[in-house]
């Protein structure tokens, strides 16, 4: 069967991409690499002949349509394409760049001593250099030595999958842009904003025992067709929140909850598409939203100040404040796919004037950005995007600001589906008491089931493999969120909430995810 499979792959390559025979050697090399990789890594699938010619044809058609006689750089590019394809078809547990197994069969060897050294890079390879120098660093530090052998050290094991429980039936949470429906106070009590998906009633519920039991809903407003809610907690355990209707422009509403009661509500603006809120060290709210421009407004302790126009063309904002109350506003310039010259950017007023930092400048589409700031002032930013003008499956991208310098962004993980065409969806981000960074997003698993994915980065250790939160009752999942809490209230791990559709009703799930347990 090995010879038969190799013949099919080789014949197809030559027939479609080497009619004059000039590429026969290249086709044979790639065919041999394909077979050896499958035989070595997936012996069960190979024995059962699960690798069909139709799969090979699809692989070649979709990835090698413009195959030329490979140079070393071209082969490296083709291998990256092959990795992505195999990962989706056979869904192995990925060891970062350890899938360079194929490289050894085409005349290269990459010795993988750890997840952080997949290309011979230093242990802090995950932290790229300043923008514009990433390619130069990889070429300068990677060690590619011709060899017929391969040494692979397995990556760290994924953390345990946490147990999740249902919170409430026939309710869901908001799903649009940056949204924060769940909060944890200084005593570990939860506040959760929910929406009755039958009546459109926006409400809030409370739990004093880590989500085991919840109060009756406290009604806030009636929002149809869909609400957008973002909330934050202050040092007095008061809940500040903004809300309104989506996806069409609506009002910017502000509310304040103290001791389980809604004590204040007012309308701050209109014609708003997305909203977010953060609280400073003096318990004063800062609000950002998008209309025609990115608008920012803060409360000075006695009144709301006049809104400021921060910039134009930015959508789905996320606002963060550091320990010095400097304001950072994250977003992107893409609204609909396809959009050219997409920028993921941050406005900051650390100098008390608004500056603009471009985090990613791409010719392809990207979605909303989400950020968090750790106890040392490092800023972690995540967003979704595609890497081709044709669109297709989305990827999760990541960058970090260390000591005031933005690092070059890179592709961290996969979504296995598209997050939409309007750029409105953001991953959920959180940081715990150990400064471990958590990112959570929704996607598809190997059975095309909608699931929630989660990963965490442990300082001085690196990214752990992702875990999957799969509610077998779900026929669809909504956007996940990580609980907002003050830095001084953080615990080990983060609290994650997400809605699911069971086919007959929507329910809300809750779990606590701790990478160290």
- Which DSSP string do the residues of 30-57 spell out, in sequence order? HHHHHHHHHHHH-HHHHHTT-S-HHHHH
Spatial neighbors of 363 by CB under 8 A, at least 6 apart, are: 340, 341, 342, 389
Please tell me the predicted confidence (pLDDT) of residue 387: 67
Q: Is 280:315 a contact under the CB 8 Å cutoff?
A: no
Tens of pLDDT, residue by residue over 246-295, are 767 788 999 999 999 999 999 998 888 888 999 999 999 999 998 878 89
Distance, CA of 342 to CA of 364 (rounded, Å): 6
Whose structure tokens read 């003008």?
389
Angstrom distances, CA of residue 448 to CA of 23, 91, 251, 466, 500: 36, 11, 37, 17, 15
DSSP state of 89: H
Spatial neighbors of 507 by CB under 8 A, at least 6 apart, are: 166, 167, 168, 169, 170, 171, 499, 500
Q: Which of 489, 413, 421, 475 is nearest to 447 (CA)?
A: 475
Please tell me the predicted confidence (pLDDT) of residue 368: 76
Please tell me the predicted confidence (pLDDT) of residue 60: 52
Q: What angle do CA 72, 4, 16 make, to 5 degrees?
A: 50
The upper half-sphere exposure of residue 229, i.e. CA atoms within 13 Å in the direction of its Cβ, equals 33
Q: Is 316 exposed, middle or buried (0-12, 13-18, 19+ CB in 10 A)?
A: buried
What stretches of 131-285 show up as alpha helix (H) in DSSP?
134-141
Distance, CA of 513 to CA of 467 (rounded, Å): 10
Q: For residue 399, what is the enclosing H or E element?
A: strand 395-402
Please tell me the predicted confidence (pLDDT) of residue 249: 78
Q: For residue 59, what is the enclosing H or E element?
A: helix 53-63
Distance, CA of 235 to CA of 241 (rounded, Å): 15
Q: Is 402 exposed, middle or buried (0-12, 13-18, 19+ CB in 10 A)?
A: middle
User: What b/e readout covers 154-178, taking b as 16+ CB neighbours within 10 angstroms?
Assistant: ebbebbeeeebeebbeebbbbbbbb
Q: For residue 87, what is the enclosing H or E element?
A: helix 72-90
Whose structure tokens read 């007023």?
349
Q: For residue 397, what is the enclosing H or E element?
A: strand 395-402
Whether omega for the bond prior to residue 338 falls within 30 degrees of 0, making it cis, is yes
Please tell me the predicted confidence (pLDDT) of residue 59: 52
Distance, CA of 214 to CA of 79 (rounded, Å): 51
Q: Which of 336, 326, 330 is nearest to 316 (CA)?
A: 330
Give just the sign of the alpha carbon dihedral 155, 77, 440, 90: negative
State the 10-residue block means of pLDDT for the chain, 517 residues long: 54 50 50 58 48 52 46 52 50 34 31 34 35 29 36 69 92 78 96 88 93 94 81 96 82 94 93 90 94 88 92 82 92 58 72 80 70 94 75 80 89 78 76 97 87 94 94 91 95 96 91 94
Please tell me the predicted confidence (pLDDT) of residue 388: 64
Whose structure tokens read 């070649």?
60
Spatial neighbors of 388 by CB under 8 A, at least 6 apart, are: 364
Q: How far, in whole angstroms, is CA 426 from its chain's centroid? A: 7
Q: Is 165:509 a contact under the CB 8 Å cutoff?
A: yes
Distance, CA of 233 to CA of 256 (rounded, Å): 10
Please tell me the predicted confidence (pLDDT) of residue 432: 97
DSSP state of 152: B
Distance, CA of 79 to CA of 102 (rounded, Å): 7
Distance, CA of 493 to CA of 516 (rounded, Å): 8
- The most distant pair of C-alpha atoms in the chain lies apart, rounded to whole Å, by 79
Angstrom distances, CA of residue 352 to CA of 170, 242, 376, 408: 46, 25, 21, 26
SS percent in the chain: helix, strand, coil, step 5:
20, 40, 45
Q: Is 289 helix (H, G, I), strand (E, B) or coil?
A: strand
Spatial neighbors of 516 by CB under 8 A, at least 6 apart, are: 159, 434, 436, 458, 492, 493
């Amino acid at each position: 069967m090995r010879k038969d499979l190799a013949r099919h792959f080789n014949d197809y390559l030559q027939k479609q991409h080497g009619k004059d025979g000039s590429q026969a050697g290249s086709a044979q090399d790639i065919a041999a690499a394909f077979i050896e990789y499958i035989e070595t890594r997936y012996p069960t699938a190979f024995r059962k002949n699960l690798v069909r010619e139709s799969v090979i044809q699809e692989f070649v058609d979709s990835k090698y349509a413009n195959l030329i006689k490979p140079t070393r750089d071209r082969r490296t590019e083709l291998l990256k394409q092959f990795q992505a394809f195999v990962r989706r078809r056979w869904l192995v547990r990925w060891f970062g760049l350890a899938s360079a197994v194929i490289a050894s069969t085409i005349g290269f060897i990459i010795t993988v001593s750890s997840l952080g050294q997949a290309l011979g890079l230093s242990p802090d390879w995950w932290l790229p250099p300043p923008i514009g120098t990433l390619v130069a660093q990889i070429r300068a530090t990677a060690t590619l030595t011709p060899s017929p052998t391969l040494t692979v050290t397995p990556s760290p094991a994924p953390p345990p999958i946490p147990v999740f429980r249902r919170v409430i039936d026939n309710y869901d949470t908001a799903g649009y842009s940056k949204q924060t429906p769940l909060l944890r106070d200084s005593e570990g009590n939860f506040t959760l904003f929910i929406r009755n998906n039958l009546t459109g009633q926006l409400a809030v519920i409370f739990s004093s025992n880590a989500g085991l039991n919840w109060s009756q809903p406290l009604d806030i407003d009636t929002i149809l067709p869909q609400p957008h809610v973002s909330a934050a907690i202050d040092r007095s355990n008061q809940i500040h929140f903004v809300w309104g209707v989506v996806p069409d422009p609506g009002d910017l509403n502000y509310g304040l909850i103290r001791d389980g009661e809604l004590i204040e509500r007012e309308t701050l603006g209109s014609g708003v598409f997305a909203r977010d809120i953060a609280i400073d060290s003096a318990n004063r709210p800062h609000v950002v939203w998008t209309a025609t421009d990115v608008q920012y407004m803060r409360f000075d302790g006695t009144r709301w100040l006049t809104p400021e126009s921060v910039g134009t063309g930015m959508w789905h904002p996320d606002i963060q404040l550091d320990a010095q109350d400097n304001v950072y506003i994250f977003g992107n310039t893409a609204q609909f796919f396809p959009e050219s010259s997409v920028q993921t950017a941050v406005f900051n007023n650390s100098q008390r004037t608004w500056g603009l930092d471009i985090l990613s400048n791409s010719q392809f589409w990207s979605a909303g950005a989400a950020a968090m700031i750790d106890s040392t002032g490092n800023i972690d930013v995540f967003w979704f995007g595609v890497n081709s003008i044709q669109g297709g499956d989305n990827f999760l991208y990541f960058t970090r600001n260390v000591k005031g310098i933005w690092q070059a962004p890179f592709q961290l993980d996969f979504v296995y589906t598209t997050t939409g065409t309007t750029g409105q969806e953001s991953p959920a981000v959180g940081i715990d008491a150990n400064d471990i960074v958590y990112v959570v997003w929704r996607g598809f698993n190997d059975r095309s089931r909608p699931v929630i994915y989660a990963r965490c980065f442990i300082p001085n250790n690196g990214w752990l493999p992702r875990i999957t939160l799969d509610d077998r009752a779900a026929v669809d999942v909504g956007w996940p969120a990580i609980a907002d809490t003050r830095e001084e209230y953080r615990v080990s791990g983060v609290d994650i909430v997400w809605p699911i559709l069971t086919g007959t009703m929507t329910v809300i799930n809750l779990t606590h995810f701790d990478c160290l347990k």
